[in-house]
Amino acid sequence: MAQQGQLVDYRSGASISCYTPGNTAPYGPTAVRSGTVPDGTQCAIFEDVPVRLQDLPTSIRATWTSPDGRSASGSIDPGNDGGLLPPSGQGVWDYDMYVRYGRHGTYQNGQCQGDGPWLDSCVPFQRPSPQRVPCLIREPHVITPATSPPPSITPYVRRVVGDLVARPGSIHSLPAPKGLVNLPTCFWLEGLAVPRERDSTLVLPGAPDSTGRRIYYTFLIRVFFAGVDWDFDDPFGDGQTAPDPACGQHPQLTAHSYQMISEKASSDGRYHVRATEKYQVTVDLYWDDSYGSHRRTVDPGIPLPITATTPEYDQYVGQVEAIPIGS
């Protein structure tokens, strides 16, 4: 499992574990609800105040502030909570918890004006609880990428591809150190940072929502080798030809046939060969929110393909000259 903010190599076939939504402030916004009754009649105002939860060794401590500013607290027994805590397998932090208060009043000018004290109140059809004071209410907390958006993955992608640019492969050739004009000279690359594919995973927290909860996102960064462009430093072109079987088997093996000896092609008598490696990058994003598990492809945020150019490789190319025998 990847740790938060740490790039981890990913092996094909391994499972990806998505962190569940978490939080640092397990409470929801205050909700004010009023009954609709004719003017001049009695009315009631209900207000749900948010509850903070704290884990203790044998219980969960709940604290809150009443609508009129009084601090209050209660204790929840996980073994005998009367259905208040979430079902087994669900986290208490996936829910918002409230204490419901009620206040009597009368309608004045079309508004319910409270004139009595705020009291703990449970609406019977929602949670009849004659044994429980105060009245605690549990509601699922909805969190999505809209309320806890993912961070940018671009800085981490740049870190991954930076290794590629800093460590290009090396060129080798045959015949070496000298090839012959009009005959294929074999070239290949060794020591590629990513010969085929390299995958990394990264876990990052999303932005906190209004209650301090956040989604933890798992990114899967895949880097693919996408080919190589050869520069044979040949004024007649960089065309490639089939390698001679005598060159054997090598990674990225190719061949080029020079038509001019290197002493005529450059001032130092050598061809300066280079290879530009090309890589593609994809990023998949995984997360769990209130509606289940999800996956989507995201923009890595960098120009593609990624290129890495090898140092110059000096290739001598000569010719076979006939030597007359006798006079």
Q: What is the spatial distance between Cα 241 and Cα 243, in angstroms, rounded to a whole number?
A: 6
pTM of the model: 0.69
The pLDDT of residue 189 is 96
Q: In this structure, what token pair is assigned to residue 126?
A: 């929602």
Who contacts 310 (Cβ-Cβ below 8 Å, separation ≥6)?
Answer: 168, 169, 170, 171, 189, 274, 275, 276, 277
pLDDT digits (tens, 9 = 90+) for 208-263: 998 888 999 999 999 999 999 999 999 999 999 999 999 999 999 999 999 999 99
Beta bridge partners of 228: 277
Beta bridge partners of 170: 190
3-state secondary structure the chain: CCCECCCEEECCCCCCCCCCCECCCCCCCCEEEECCCCCCCEEEEEEEEECEEEECCCCEEEEEECCCCCEEEEEECCCCCCCCCCCCCCCHHHEEEEEEEEEEEEEECCEEEECCCCEECCCCCCCCCCCCCCCEEEEECCCCCCCCCCCCCHHHHHHHHHHHHHCCCEEEEECCCEEECCCEEEEEEECCCCCCEEEEEEEEECCCCCCCCECEEEEEEEEEEEEEEEECCCCCCCCCECCCHHHCCCCCCEEEECCCCHHHHCCCCCEEEEEEEEEEEEEEEEEEECCEEEEEEECCCCCCCEEEECCCEEEEEECCCCCCCCC
The pLDDT of residue 180 is 93
Sheet with 71-76: list strands edge to edge. 52-55, 60-65, 71-76
Q: Which among 139, 300, 144, 288 is positioned nearest to 207, based on CA atoms?
A: 144
Q: What is the spatial distance between Cα 313 and Cα 74, in angstroms, rounded to a whole number?
A: 76
The stretch 147-172 carries a mean pLDDT of 92
pLDDT digits (tens, 9 = 90+) for 35-74: 455 677 888 888 888 888 888 888 888 889 989 999 988 8
Segments making up each domain of the chain, as ranges: 26-140, 154-318
Phi and psi for 108 in degrees, rounded to 5? -140, 120
Q: Is the pLDDT of residue 270 over 90?
A: yes
- Give the confidence band of 321 by pLDDT, cuts at 50, 70, 90: low
The pLDDT of residue 200 is 93
